[in-house]
Amino acid sequence: MQISKDKFKLVGTQLSEAEKISKPSLSFWKDVFIRFRKNKLALFGLVLLGLLIFMAIFGPYMTPYDYASNDLVNKNQPPSSEHWFGTDDLGRDVFARTWEGARISIFIGVAAALIDLIIGVIWGGIAGYKGGRTDEFMMRFADILYGVPYLLLVILLMVVLGQGLTTMIIAMSITGWINMSRIVRGQVLSLKSQEYVLAAKTLGANTNRIMAKHLIPNSMGPILVTMTLTVPSAIFTEAFLSFLGLGLTPPLASWGTMANDGLPAMRYYPWRLFFPATFICLTIFAFNVVGDGLRDALDPRMRK
């Protein structure tokens, strides 16, 4: 007796569907973006950072007052419909100065971070890839430079080069790249023995190609996180130097110089200190939470 196939029901997956992909594949950076988007605090920090940058670009144009124009008749006026953030001891509009200062402070932070990025990636990449005596010499030189008192170095530069925006950025960058170089060196040391790097060497790829195509791109996670945390550190350093009287020269304004000017008047005219100090805190907070969010999103151990 022959049994018909209609009496049987297939249980499970058919062979033709066994290789079918049930979930669409995601690239590394798309997966990073999805996980970053789920971090509400980091997303809030990114939005806040975008608002601060928007106001730094367009804020000075929202008021008819110039950030450097003196008006002694209206000095130390509290916030009002005419002067939204009040005026300082020379009658200058604090709103205009706040957003002009935002341009300078954010520019200092981003410029210092970019210089640290370039020098740190090149120095740490070469030290980690070459290894041996080259690595020993380069990292001991970085350690010696890191041991020089930072404040003494800044004061010497201010004396030699004079106070100004360029001097401030140079002072921050002389030793600021060392932390970046150590992170890049550690990443390169762990990656240079991977199979794809050995395969590239076997195929005749030179050092520059291996660094540019394999080692540095695969180290971008820690590099990006370190860079986002370098910017608020540079902004805070500028404010710290301004409190010591080593800030920018007038008529340039930054949040640090404004906070330094407003500190003596804090008791009677608190708005002069409140606004620059608040925006320093908000900017540092925004960069830090974005950096933490990037660190979590780029961590391969957190992939699901």
CATH number for position 156: 1.10.3720.10
pLDDT in tens, 24-82: 666 666 777 788 888 889 899 999 999 999 999 998 888 888 887 787 788 888 888 88
The verdict on residue 26 lying in a domain is no
The verdict on residue 217 lying in a domain is yes
The verdict on residue 21 lying in a domain is no
The verdict on residue 43 lying in a domain is yes
- Tell me which residue range forms the domain holding 276: 35-55+84-302
The verdict on residue 30 lying in a domain is no
The verdict on residue 192 lying in a domain is yes
The verdict on residue 5 lying in a domain is no
Number of domains in the chain: 1
pLDDT in tens, 125-152: 888 888 888 889 998 998 888 888 877 7
Name the token pair of 61.
């144009």
Alpha helix stretches (DSSP H) within the chain: 28-38, 40-58, 94-130, 132-146, 150-161, 165-191, 195-202, 207-210, 220-243, 255-262, 271-298
Q: How far apart are the first and last CA of the chain?
A: 53
Nearest to 288 by CA among 208, 196, 207, 225: 225
The answer to whether residue 16 scores a pLDDT higher than 60 is no
The whole-number pLDDT of residue 54 equals 92
239 CB-near residues (< 8 Å, 6+ apart): 105, 254, 255, 256, 259, 280
Check if the beta carbon of residue 57 is closer than 8 Å to that of residue 246: no
The verdict on residue 42 lying in a domain is yes
